[in-house]
Amino acid sequence: MTALSTPAPAWPGELVSLDAGPVFVRSAGDPAAPLAVFVHGLGGSALNWTDLMAELSQPDPGHAESALRCEALDLPGFGYSPPPASGNYALNARVAAVVSLIERRGRGPVHLIGNSLGGAVSTRVAARRPDLVRTLTLISPALPDLTPRLLPMRLLVVSAPVAGRSLLARMQRTPPHQRIERMLRELYADQSLLHPVRRAESEAEMLRRDELGYADEVMVATSRSLVAEYVRSGRGSLWHDATLVTAPTLVVHGSHDRLVNPANAGKAARAFPNVRVQVLPKVGHVAMMERPDLVAELIRAHLASVELPRPKQVAS
Would residue 280 count as lying in a domain? yes
pLDDT of 2 reads 42
What's the pLDDT tens digit per position in 88-119?
Answer: 999 999 999 999 999 999 988 999 999 999 99
Entry pTM: 0.91
Alpha helices in 32-175 (DSSP H): 50-56, 91-105, 117-128, 150-159, 161-172
Would residue 299 count as lying in a domain? yes
pLDDT of 311 reads 45
Cβ contacts of 133 within 8 Å, gap of 6 or more:
108, 109, 110, 112, 125, 126, 245, 247
**Which phi-psi region, left, alpha or beta, contains residue 105 (left: φ > 0; alpha: ψ -120 to 50)?**
alpha
Cα gap 90→194, rounded to integer Å: 32
Cα gap 267→260, rounded to integer Å: 13
Tell me how crowded residue 192 is: count the other CB atoms within 10 A of its CB.
8
DSSP 82: P
What's the pLDDT tens digit per position in 148-172?
Answer: 566 565 655 656 665 555 655 556 6
What integer best gives the mean pLDDT of the chain? 89
Would residue 6 count as lying in a domain? no
Q: Which domain holds residue 306?
A: 13-315
Number of domains in the chain: 1
**Taking a C-beta distance cutoff of 8 angstroms, is the pair 99, 127 a contact?**
no
pLDDT of 57 reads 96
Kindly state the greatest CA–CA separation across the chain: 56
Would residue 235 count as lying in a domain? yes
Tell me how crowded residue 225 is: count the other CB atoms within 10 A of its CB.
21
Cα gap 52→118, rounded to integer Å: 15
Cα gap 307→248, rounded to integer Å: 9
Would residue 4 count as lying in a domain? no
Would residue 174 count as lying in a domain? yes
Would residue 242 count as lying in a domain? yes
- Residue 292: CATH number of its domain: 3.40.50.1820
More confident residue, 223 or 99: 99
Would residue 131 count as lying in a domain? yes
- Closest alpha carbon to 69 in 37, 30, 99, 114: 30
Cα gap 58→35, rounded to integer Å: 13
DSSP 75: P
* pLDDT over threshold 70, residue 293: yes
pLDDT of 60 reads 81
DSSP 279-306: EETT--S-HHHH-HHHHHHHHHHHHHTT
Cβ contacts of 24 within 8 Å, gap of 6 or more:
13, 14, 15, 16, 46, 73, 74, 79, 80, 81
